[in-house]
Structure 1
């Protein structure tokens, strides 16, 4: 059960109602601080619509953060969003295998992106070797984009966990289809 009420548009001032155009529980909970949600939205919107990192790679990185931290909300939402940006069920199954050091069918670039997301999540930094490989494969700007994305979603999972944001029923099936490991890292 969430620590804060889930607000609706009618609970907000007229000037804040656009914050809930997408009324997911995360935004409904953050709407308790409309200005905070407004600023949270700015970076989230850049990641989704302005960032130049390939959207499929972006979603794989976000999924890696969600899987590694065993965040049901983040994982379930980004399984669905990932599908919208070209992530397949086979990619997700391979991400799980890669996360468990098992043989998988992902390419070198996808594997590198997942490695970076895992290092950022578990170690709060990337190794020199990973950084050099990222910079060579993606260029410096896209490598920095990846760092921003993985770091932002590490913050998101902490918000979700701290406020105890519930997974909406329409996303629960993704957790059954792609179960998470038992113990959260964060």
Structure 2
């Protein structure tokens, strides 16, 4: 159970009701502070709809952070979202293997994006060699978007964990399909 109440549109001022356009538990918790929810959603919306980074690569970076953080919410939500943007089961299986340090048949750019996301997650940032390799396959705008995406989702998984946000029942099949190691 979340550490703050899940609010509904009925609980909000008229100007804040659009913050619950996506009826998910994360947003229902964040609207306990509408200004924070608005700021959070602004960057999240840019990353979903405005980024120059390829959508599949973006989702792989987010999934990598979710996997490393063992964030059931982030992992389950972005498996579903990832499917919508071209992530395949083979990609997810490769991400899990890459996280264990195993070689995979994943395309080189995707492997590099996953490595960069792992380095952002581990901190303090992307290593020099990885950044140099990114420059050979992504332009500066896409690199910035990758860094912002991985960094933002490092924050997201910490928000989810700190507020103990529940995974909605409709996302549970994704956790069952790709469970975290025990």
Gaps of 5+ in 1: none
Q: CA deviation at 1:181?
A: 3.0
1:65–1:121 Cα contact (<8 Å) kept? yes
Matched, 1:128 2:114: no
Q: Calculate the TM-score normalised by the size of structure 2.
A: 0.98
Q: Secondary structure at the match of 1:22?
A: coil
Q: Deviations over 1:91-115 (max 9, x none)?
A: 1011101111113120100000000
Moved over 3 A (4+): none
Q: Could you say which residue in structure 2 is the equivalent of 1:106?
A: 106
Q: Secondary structure at the match of 1:137?
A: coil
Q: Calculate the TM-score normalised by the size of structure 1.
A: 0.96
Moved more, 25-34 or 118-127: 118-127
Matched, 1:23 2:37: no
Give the Cα separation in 2 of the matches to 1:122 and 1:70: 14
1:26–1:165 Cα contact (<8 Å) kept? yes
Q: Could you say which residue in structure 2 is the equivalent of 1:79?
A: 79
Q: Could you say which residue in structure 2 is the equivalent of 1:167?
A: 167
Q: Deviations over 1:128-168 (max 9, x none)?
A: 00011112210122111100000000000000000000000
Q: CA deviation at 1:20?
A: 0.2
Paired residues in the alignment total 182
Give the Cα separation in 1 of the matches to 2:129 and 2:91: 24
CA root-mean-square deviation: 0.8
Q: Could you say which residue in structure 2 is the equivalent of 1:89?
A: 89
